[in-house]
A and B are shown apart, each in its own frame.
Chain A
Amino acid sequence: MSVHQKIVEILAEQAVLEPNEVPLTATLEDLGIDSMNLVEIIFAIEESFDIQIPFNANEPEAAGFDISSVTSIVTAVEGLLAAREA
């Protein structure tokens, strides 16, 4: 399963949607994801990919992990995976 597929699966589960209802351009708000869902999503991504995401709910934009859309999350996770391999 690709990074993209796995992240869509995680987002779909939290948003109670089917994976085909999670377009790449969607924002978390579009998907109806609130701050509690978001913390669970971050945890699920960390567990799935065995990575550490620098995320603080008090300043969600500050840590360089871009959560503005599905695509941005995929890109950010790919970045963390690449950094781990390096």
Chain B
Amino acid sequence: MRRVVITGQGTVNPLGLDVAATLDAMSRGVCAIGPLDIVDVERLLIQIGAQVQGFDPAEHFSKNKLSLYDRFTQFALVAAREAMAQSGLEIDDALGDLSGVILGSAGGGLQTQEDNYRAVFEQGKNRVHPFVVPRLMHSSAASHLSMEFGLRGPCYSVSTACASSNHAMGQAFHLIRGGGASVVLTGGSESMLSFGGIKAWEGLRVMSKDGCRPFCATRNGMVQGEGAAVFVFEEFEHARARGADILAEVAGFAMNSDAGDIVMPNREGAARAMCGALRDGSLNPEDIGYINAHGTGTTANDKVETAAIVDVFGSKADKLMVSATKSMHGHLIGGTGAVELLACIAALRDGMIAPTVGYRAPDPACDLDIVPNTARQQKVTATLSNAFAFGGLNAVLALRSI
């Protein structure tokens, strides 16, 4: 069977405007959550989030191009440029036909939707910008990546709420493994930090007003973030033949559905997804040194995820490092799994185990080694990245060092 490796990575997220800045912030346990700076924030009950800071679209795009790019597309393009540059790939016509894009996003062009709803409903305008539709399409970012780099194979977007990125990357893995492409740009992007984006989550009553503290006894909900991460997934022999620097191997992937509840997580479904990823990657539980948890900071998720990890790893769960980097970059919703994969790759490449920050007090229902507050240096050779979305959609990726 064809093997799949990662040969490039790029990101724009609240912790940094590229991979180096992001990993530096993770290694220092930086928390990027703070007061939201958005229109009408005073009408929100939840006034904190993790916003991308210092991102100037004009530095990256011409004015003409910008009229076509929602913020989620801007994040994806900048992340993809970094990933492609690192990969060293040169896409000619022949390789272009064998290369594709699969990106996750839960909300797509939400900033565009909100701005234009305001224009027609609030300001009573009867005219909107001609490019509203091409900006707001969920597939818009994927299409712009294909155009930017000449990737003429399969190109589509995946939307499965908080598991969107993991599903996208799992599909990219399957596509290359199955022979449908040699190279896939994959990951996810989200820009939901707008009045409407927060207001909708506020209604569900699961958001924290004071911070994201996954696995902590004092946790009281999730905090939203924004941003993107994009990776170059490449068929192993193709990467090896051109002498590429291989960051990690995508060893396995599993996805399933709880078929149970539209918001509550399910221990059995989560465990089944982790087991499936191990099996798919021919990995044993003891091979895994680090898990990037879904770890949202809600009462329900962290308790259920802990129980599922114990189900899968048994007594070995004690030796396992499990961290929730959402405590630092917030919950990027459809983009979150992609940013979290950066932490898995850093664990494999550099032995840098990103911490769970904001941790104050142990919760007996979450008694894992969650790498509290301070990053750790420890060599690991295989990792899992969990995503357990609303609607019971579970997607787990297994990476291995190579």
Residues on A lying within 8 angstroms of B by beta carbon are 35-36, 39, 42-43, 52, 55-59, 62
Q: Once the chains bind, are B220 and A55 in contact (CB under 8 Å)? A: no
Q: Once the chains bind, are A62 and B220 in contact (CB under 8 Å)? A: yes
Q: Once the chains bind, are B299 and A55 in contact (CB under 8 Å)? A: no
Binds A, one of B76-84, B161-169, B201-209, B239-247: B201-209
Task: State the 7 A-B residue pairs at the shortest beta-carbon distance, nearest first.
Answer: A57-B205, A58-B299, A58-B221, A58-B220, A59-B220, A39-B205, A57-B206
Q: Once the chains bind, are A39 and B204 in contact (CB under 8 Å)? A: yes
Quick one: which of A35, A43, A56 has the most chain B CB within 10 A? A56
Q: Can you list 12 residue pairs at the A/B interface with Cβ under 8 Å?
A: A35-B264, A36-B262, A39-B204, A42-B205, A55-B205, A56-B207, A56-B208, A56-B220, A57-B298, A58-B221, A58-B300, A59-B220
Q: Which residues from chain B contact A43 at a C-beta distance below 8 Å?
A: 203
Q: Once the chains bind, are B204 and A57 in contact (CB under 8 Å)? A: yes
Chain A residue with the shortest CB-CB distance to B299? A58
- B219 interface residue, CB < 8 Å from A? yes
Number of contacts between A and B (CB, 8 Å)? 34
Chain B residue with the shortest CB-CB distance to A42? B205
What's the nearest-Cβ distance from chain B to residue A28, in Å?
15
Q: Once the chains bind, are B263 and A58 in contact (CB under 8 Å)? A: no
Chain B residue with the shortest CB-CB distance to A57? B205
Quick one: which of A43, A52, A58, A59 has the most chain B CB within 10 A? A58
What's the nearest-Cβ distance from chain A to residue B361, in Å?
14
Q: Once the chains bind, are B203 and A56 in contact (CB under 8 Å)? A: no
- Expressed in whole angstroms, the Cα–Cα distance for A55 and B206 within the complex equals 9
Q: Which residues from chain A contact B45 at a C-beta distance below 8 Å?
A: 52
**Which residues of B, 199-224, contact A by the 8 Å Cβ criterion?**
203-209, 219-221
- Expressed in whole angstroms, the Cα–Cα distance for A62 and B208 within the complex equals 13
What's the nearest-Cβ distance from chain B to residue A33, in Å?
15
What's the nearest-Cβ distance from chain A to residue B219, in Å?
7
**Which residues of B, 267-301, contact A by the 8 Å Cβ criterion?**
298-300
What's the nearest-Cβ distance from chain B to residue A14, in Å?
15
Q: Which residues from chain A contact B209 at a C-beta distance below 8 Å?
A: 56
Q: Once the chains bind, are B204 and A58 in contact (CB under 8 Å)? A: no
Q: Which residues from chain B contact A55 at a C-beta distance below 8 Å?
A: 205
Q: Once the chains bind, are A56 and B205 in contact (CB under 8 Å)? A: yes
Q: Once the chains bind, are A58 and B203 in contact (CB under 8 Å)? A: no
- Expressed in whole angstroms, the Cα–Cα distance for A56 and B206 within the complex equals 6
Q: Which residues from chain B contact A36 at a C-beta distance below 8 Å?
A: 262-263
Q: Which residues from chain A contact B299 at a C-beta distance below 8 Å?
A: 57-59
Chain A residue with the shortest CB-CB distance to B203? A43
Q: Once the chains bind, are B221 and A56 in contact (CB under 8 Å)? A: yes
Q: Which residues from chain A contact B207 at a C-beta distance below 8 Å?
A: 56
What's the nearest-Cβ distance from chain B to residue A73, in Å?
15
Q: Which residues from chain B contact A42 at a C-beta distance below 8 Å?
A: 205
Q: Which residues from chain A contact B206 at a C-beta distance below 8 Å?
A: 56-58
Q: Which residues from chain B contact A58 at a C-beta distance below 8 Å?
A: 206, 208, 219-221, 298-300
Chain B residue with the shortest CB-CB distance to A55? B205
Q: Which residues from chain A contact B264 at a C-beta distance below 8 Å?
A: 35
What's the nearest-Cβ distance from chain B to residue A58, in Å?
4
What's the nearest-Cβ distance from chain B to residue A31, in Å?
19
What's the nearest-Cβ distance from chain A to residue B331, in Å?
14
- Expressed in whole angstroms, the Cα–Cα distance for A53 and B209 within the complex equals 14
Chain B residue with the shortest CB-CB distance to A38? B205
- Expressed in whole angstroms, the Cα–Cα distance for A39 and B202 within the complex equals 11
What's the nearest-Cβ distance from chain A to residue B115, in Å?
27
Q: Which residues from chain B contact A59 at a C-beta distance below 8 Å?
A: 220, 299
- Expressed in whole angstroms, the Cα–Cα distance for A57 and B221 within the complex equals 8
- Expressed in whole angstroms, the Cα–Cα distance for A82 and B139 within the complex equals 51
- Expressed in whole angstroms, the Cα–Cα distance for A55 and B263 within the complex equals 18
With A57-B204, A57-B299, A59-B220 given, can you name 14 additional A-B contacts, CB distance below 8 Å?
Answer: A36-B262, A39-B204, A43-B203, A56-B207, A56-B208, A56-B221, A57-B205, A57-B206, A57-B221, A58-B206, A58-B219, A58-B220, A58-B298, A62-B220
